[in-house]
Structures are given as C-alpha cells and as structure tokens.
Amino acid sequence: MAELGWLKSSFSEDGGNNCIEIARLPGHYLAVRESSAPECLIVANRLRLQALLTRTKQKSLLPPGR
C-alpha cells in the first residue's frame, strides 16, 4: 500500500518513524498505520474510525455496559 497518499500529523517529528499515518481508500474507507510498522493496517469507514478514536481518547475501548 505504499502507493497510497499517506498523510501524517503536523505534530509528528520531521523524518522520524514515530507517527500515525492515514490514507483514503476506495469506497469511503480509510487506512491507518504506524509509521514504524507500515505493513500493519487498520481499515475502517469514517464512522468506525471516529468511534475508535473517541474511545481511545476516553481510554474506554470496551463497548458500553461491559
């Protein structure tokens, strides 16, 4: 997936492999990867990715009620 247009945060250090990158995929999907392990991807639609990020920020990865 190296041919995708990967974007990384402006908060990432220049030239380092210590950031999260994101790319658009066909069909309204997004791919997310860690720059130090680019072969490992999370692929999700925008709503699922937003839910993952929200729960990660809240430090609550378990579904409500568990």
- pLDDT tens, position by position, 20-62: 899 999 999 999 998 888 899 999 999 999 998 888 888 776 6
Instruction: Write the Ramachandran bin of 59: left for phi over 0, alpha for psi from -120 to 50, otherwise beta.
Output: left
Count of domains for the chain: 1
Average pLDDT value for residue range 2-21 = 77
In a domain, 66, yes or no: no
The pLDDT value recorded for residue 63 is 65
Residue 26 lies in a domain: yes
Q: For the whole model, what pTM was predicted?
A: 0.71
Domain span at residue 30? 7-57
In a domain, 63, yes or no: no
The pLDDT of residue 3 is above 70: yes
Q: Show Cβ contacts of residue 16 under 8 Å, excluding neighbours closer than 6 positions.
A: 35
Q: Is residue 25 part of a domain?
A: yes
* 2: in domain: no
